[in-house]
Amino acid sequence: MTDERPQRSLLLAVSWAVAVCAWPAASAAPAAPPVTPNEFEGSDVERINRAIEVAAAAGRRVVIPRVNVSGSQRREIWLLDSAILLRSDTLLELENCRIKLSDRCRDNFFRSANCGMGIDEIKPMRNIHVRGAGRAVLEGADHPRATGDSGKTLGKHTFGSDAGVAGQSQTGDWRNIGILLAFVEDFSIQNLAVKDSHAWAVSLERCAHGTLRDLDFASAQVRVVGGQRQTILNQDGIDLRLGCHDILIENVTGFTGDDLIALTAIPRPGSLAGRTGSTMVSSSQAREGGLDDIRHVVIRNVRGYCRGGHHIVRLLNTPGASLYDVVLDGLIDTSPAGMRCKAAVKIGDRNYGGGIAPLGATRRIIINNVITRSQHGVLIGGSLCDSIISNLVRHDSGGEAVTVASGPQFVRDVTITNVRTVAATQPAARAP
């Protein structure tokens, strides 16, 4: 690391180029009236999926209203037994409604219709937009059948009522993800609240040219299920996986049981699409030619924390995939007194997918305007080069604002300016 600025002009140029990209917005609503699931018969998810099919074919938008009307029944909740399937050219509006996974469900809230169980060839989709109007809430099941990622055993590491049930997978997988898109271009997800997710609330695989905006999370890693406290692992807020690029993430709030935002390019050979043995539905085996690098991502205006004590923002790539041209501008750690995240930002890790990515694979990262009380302001656990860390304040703690855990041999041409730690003036009260 250095206090000199040999890369500043280059990096500022990269930052400007990324920040002014033409981020897509949801398509303008067509003149025709919207399609609603209240026009159809069947279960809640059958009616919603039918509405999406009709609307996509006719170029109309879909509205899920607050009131669910089925025959003579009127309810202010929509219960999902399986995933809502999103099709190309879909504008789905959640109108002040509450959508909840049923106790029968072992599936996503939403999934792009091109992927799923047994689909080993995922065809690209485009123009998918999901937006809330008013207070739109997605809520996990009262008794989740499974939680956590594909490496966590139900009943041993993480909760699931499927634990020990014959014929049911005993680990988590991509079905535990809340909103799952794969190979989708031109998309937006905005103005939603996600509560008690079963694993990652939003996960994108090989998606491009999209916006995630105005998303609020409330998952605590521990919750009461059937009168008992249960651990629910891997409750990230937003995950960008292999191959994601040209994406804007902004206005993210709340708390999660695991990382609030994570960019993770972790190739794993041998995994197949459409199988339950992975937390990636499109296969975690990397494509050649840099196609599965994560690049050109802007993250701004983050106000939240990790209730499970992990990281607020995590940038992680391992050998076989690069991560570059990422801007994080504006992060406020809102963790309460007595609760502290491990790091506001963690970059790299030696404990995943073959260890630390080679020097140069994680590059042109700009981190700016961070206020935190985490154990580490920025924790470098892997490699990093040609990057800038600036305007970071770490308070209520001693130690260094920027920590290099991987060793100086993994860091090159990183400019650090206006970074400091401010000690607490009095002992902090413990969180209730």
DSSP structure class, residue 432: -
| Least confident among 26-30, 74-78, 251-255, 377-381 | 26-30
Has residue 22 got a pLDDT over 60? no
Has residue 17 got a pLDDT over 90? no
State mean pLDDT over 260-278: 94
Which pLDDT does position 431 carry in this prediction? 52
Per-chain mean pLDDT for the chain: 92
Comparison of pLDDT for 42 and 10, the residue scoring more: 42
State mean pLDDT over 24-48: 82
Cβ 88 vs Cβ 127: under 8 Å? yes
d(CA 151, CA 217) in angstroms, rounded, equals 23
Has residue 100 got a pLDDT over 50? yes
Which pLDDT does position 413 carry in this prediction? 98
3-class DSSP state for residue 143? coil
d(CA 378, CA 319) in angstroms, rounded, equals 21
pLDDT band at 270 (very low <50, low <70, confident <90, very high): confident
Which pLDDT does position 354 carry in this prediction? 87
Which pLDDT does position 303 carry in this prediction? 98
pLDDT band at 4 (very low <50, low <70, confident <90, very high): very low
d(CA 341, CA 323) in angstroms, rounded, equals 23
d(CA 196, CA 174) in angstroms, rounded, equals 16
Give residues with Cβ within 8 angstroms of 301, minimum separation 6: 250, 251, 252, 330
Has residue 290 got a pLDDT over 60? yes
E strand residue ranges, 308-380 = 311-317, 323-333, 343-347, 362-372, 376-380
Give the residue carrying structure tokens 């994560």. 294
Q: Which of 323, 384, 321 is nearest to 353 (CA)?
A: 321
Which pLDDT does position 423 carry in this prediction? 81
Cβ 179 vs Cβ 199: under 8 Å? no
Which pLDDT does position 309 carry in this prediction? 93
Q: Which of 198, 237, 233, 232 is nearest to 217 (CA)?
A: 237
State mean pLDDT over 377-391: 98
Share of the chain above pLDDT 90, in %: 87
d(CA 299, CA 332) in angstroms, rounded, equals 13
Share of the chain above pLDDT 70, in %: 91
pLDDT band at 399 (very low <50, low <70, confident <90, very high): confident
Has residue 386 got a pLDDT over 90? yes
Comparison of pLDDT for 96 and 428, the residue scoring more: 96
Q: Among the CATH numbers 1.10.3190.10, 2.120.10.30, 2.160.20.10, 3.20.20.150, which is that of 8-422?
A: 2.160.20.10
pLDDT digits (tens, 9 = 90+) for 108-135: 999 999 999 999 999 999 999 999 999 9
Comparison of pLDDT for 30 and 296, the residue scoring more: 296
Which pLDDT does position 400 carry in this prediction? 83
State mean pLDDT over 415-431: 76
d(CA 311, CA 236) in angstroms, rounded, equals 10
pLDDT digits (tens, 9 = 90+) for 217-245: 999 999 999 999 999 999 999 999 999 99
d(CA 189, CA 169) in angstroms, rounded, equals 30
Q: Which of 53, 75, 48, 50 is nearest to 63 (CA)?
A: 48
Which pLDDT does position 396 carry in this prediction? 84
3-class DSSP state for residue 393? strand
Give backbone dihedrals phi and psi of 56, rounded to 5 degrees, phi first.
-65, -40
pLDDT band at 160 (very low <50, low <70, confident <90, very high): very high
Give backbone dihedrals phi and psi of 49, rounded to 5 degrees, phi first.
-65, -35
Which pLDDT does position 332 carry in this prediction? 98
